[in-house]
Amino acid sequence: MEKSLHDDQRRSRDGAGVTKERINPASVFRSLDHGFSQAVVASGRKTLYVSGQTAWDAQKRLMGGSDLESQARQAFLRHFFSGEAKPASTWVGVSALADPGFLIEVEATAVLD
């Protein structure tokens, strides 16, 4: 992941000496206003935790309308998942997501080194 993608990048150390980097690209909605980051990288074995990605753009506009494939493409093909390798995923049915227009939400964990 390129450092240039981070518009809000903060580092902190917890009591155990683990460094955490919070990543919030400008291309997605401002989740900090809702109390969470889009992704967090923790030191040690560098692991990336990506919070639920939906079809919202940076202005919270629903992209893809009622088309699941279009919404999935928007959620998966952000800055987090590009190139040939695609992440493993589990599809689980739920009764509702945070917004009635959301058809998909993607969370991910990736070991970077």
The CATH number of whichever domain residue 54 belongs to comes to: 3.30.1330
Q: Closest Cα to residue 70, out of 28, 102, 97, 111?
A: 102
Q: Write out the residue range of the structural domain in which residue 65 sits.
A: 3-111
- Distance between CA 96 and CA 56 in Å, rounded? 16
Q: What is the mean pLDDT of the segment spanning 9-24?
A: 67
Is the pLDDT at 80 greater than 80? The verdict is: no
Q: Which residue has the tokens 């000496």?
A: 17
Q: What is the mean pLDDT of the segment spanning 48-63?
A: 86
- Distance between CA 72 and CA 94 in Å, rounded? 16
Q: What is the mean pLDDT of the segment spanning 3-27?
A: 64
Q: Closest Cα to residue 24, out of 34, 15, 55, 110?
A: 34
Structural domains in the chain (count) = 1
State residue 66's pLDDT score. 92
In this prediction the pTM is: 0.52
For residues 4 and 49, the model is more confident at 49
CA pseudo-torsion sign 107, 108, 109, 113? negative
DSSP letters for 76-103 = HSSTTS-SS----------S--SSTT--
State residue 10's pLDDT score. 54
